[in-house]
Structure 1
């Protein structure tokens, strides 16, 4: 009965994702603003990266904005000042974020729980101070006027529609890659570490190496989100590396459903959509409203949107 239930749920999930992909492909032609959709997709990539670390490995980082911000600045400066092509700017920005993640991971991975979280926050604040003081970042003004350029020398990205489909293609590739990672033997070890780390150690796994690789993968993907965001919006600012953004990605992941594939994507679209809708209506109160939503999420449905939906489906199909 359980095998049949799982098969039905997998079939329903495939149809649901096909419908979502169809909507995303048609988005520019059905009245959805391309720049908003691109921003939401960039944060969806960011949330997917964070979920790989928290949802599937069990590591809570309070400083993930540092890697998004680092890649944003790297890409912005290279494209604007050094004349790099957009693909090279994104590549270097992404790898730069991964390198910073490696350094931070080598320090933080030695600790667990709240100590790990606090080390990531402290290191992120150090990185934020660098971007605040470094002359090439523009300080509080940030890097402005970053041109999108021409992808591979043949595809101009000035058009919002063209840029949207590039971002969408990258999002789909990242999403499928994370699914592949989680379903691989390596991903199964990550789940084992999340569920019972002492037992994973007793089975002979070098837990620190597995966690370090997961941390670097997560920070690298977060960097990709930051690089794309800079190209989409044309600027990189201190808000990209601020600790509050690290809190927002935690909210996106928990709101959508930690440890699920669709959850972080839905959470990212929900939070970015609320910010975009409420910004002109309630001003700074948008932070209070999003905080209230977070409290309701924790108290009312701890599994998040997708987690609660999956649990409800399982209960219904078992009763049938």
Structure 2
């Protein structure tokens, strides 16, 4: 097993180099706004994957963190005059606070009960956003100024903003990787695989799950805050259950329990949404078909199947 792991690890450095080159060159080959949308949704999907793939908790309400952070960031930047960086951090903090409250209500339940509690909380946040005066109701918060990052970088330039978003997303993914591969992450995996055994070993399971849920909410909020700066708007769509569904679809299509899966899933789903933006009904049908095909043929998701293939190939080479 160690030899197989070593053989698989040899692919990591070339992939990292290729990934870095692609990220640096991408805005010269594709529309930067599309790429920034892709990165924001990849981070949202990765935050949800942290809960499902590594803790074993299926959340149907991650849009409440994404959307609440989008509203908080937009309001802080436009009305209070916050620096964009401070506004995004404020949005992530708001999402983390909502995550902590929601987690306190939900983590004592498991399975479908946990999922329904997160969905109910998300719907509550949606109706607060719909009725609250500071959110703009159905119009949302529009014309959010991008301003200057720390008074230095002009974020009105799409290319500059792209590289800022890229750095933040890369750091966020590195943080998720560190969480998953830390002793804390190993405890989360143990809770996912056998919660009664983790309890018998003396771990305070609910405390671990609450911390993981709050971290996941903060990461989703970070994505939502950046999205409101990129598009200069926060709308009800950001807190809608459909956004939670898209994030879940991204994780399943790309592959849960993988670091690259949410990125691949986000690329597939966001590209479909952009390509079929003029055909709303067709988009839902195509997304449904893709979901069925992936579940039927690629049970581990795209990246999960590739990892499984490489593992089988390495196993054959060692035998």
User: Unpaired runs of 5+ in structure 2?
Assistant: none
CA distance in 2, matches of 1:279, 1:87: 30
| Residue 258 of structure 1, CA deviation | 0.3
Query: Which residue matches 2:303?
Result: 306
| Residue 111 of structure 1, CA deviation | 0.6
CA distance in 2, matches of 1:284, 1:126: 27
Query: Which residue matches 2:233?
Result: 235
- The reply to whether residue 72 of structure 1 matches residue 70 of structure 2 is yes
- The reply to whether residue 286 of structure 1 matches residue 272 of structure 2 is no
Query: Which residue matches 1:58?
Result: 56
2:314 equivalent among 310, 313, 317: 317
Q: Do the aligned partners of 2:8 and 2:314 also contact (CA within 8 Å) in 1?
A: no
- The reply to whether residue 99 of structure 1 matches residue 97 of structure 2 is yes
CA distance in 2, matches of 1:12, 1:316: 13
Residue 11 of structure 2 aligns to a residue in which SS? helix
CA distance in 2, matches of 1:13, 1:304: 19
Query: Which residue matches 2:2?
Result: 3
Please list, as runs of the form range in 1=range in 2, the aligned pairs for 1:139-288 lying within 5 A after superposition.
139-280=137-278, 282-288=279-285
User: Unpaired runs of 5+ in structure 1?
Assistant: none
| Residue 88 of structure 1, CA deviation | 1.2
CA distance in 2, matches of 1:269, 1:148: 25
Q: Normalized against structure 2, the TM-score is what?
A: 0.98
Alignment length (residue pairs)? 317
CA distance in 2, matches of 1:217, 1:76: 21
CA distance in 1, matches of 2:221, 2:104: 18
RMSD: 0.9
CA distance in 2, matches of 1:7, 1:278: 42
| Residue 318 of structure 1, CA deviation | 1.2
CA distance in 1, matches of 2:307, 2:288: 25
Over residues 190-234 of structure 1, what are the superposed CA-to-partner deviations in whole Å (9 max), with x where a residue is unaligned? 000011111111111010000000000000000000000000001
| Residue 283 of structure 1, CA deviation | 3.6
CA distance in 2, matches of 1:183, 1:144: 40
Over residues 227-265 of structure 1, what are the superposed CA-to-partner deviations in whole Å (9 max), with x where a residue is unaligned? 000000010000000001111111101110100110011
Q: Do the aligned partners of 2:66 and 2:225 also contact (CA within 8 Å) in 1?
A: yes
Residue 151 of structure 2 aligns to a residue in which SS? coil
CA distance in 1, matches of 2:24, 2:9: 22
| Residue 292 of structure 1, CA deviation | 1.0
Over residues 24-63 of structure 1, what are the superposed CA-to-partner deviations in whole Å (9 max), with x where a residue is unaligned? 111122x211000000000011111111111111010000
CA distance in 2, matches of 1:279, 1:207: 43
Hey, which bits of structure 1, 4+ residues long, moved more than 6 A? none
CA distance in 1, matches of 2:238, 2:288: 19
CA distance in 1, matches of 2:20, 2:216: 24
| Residue 5 of structure 1, CA deviation | 2.0
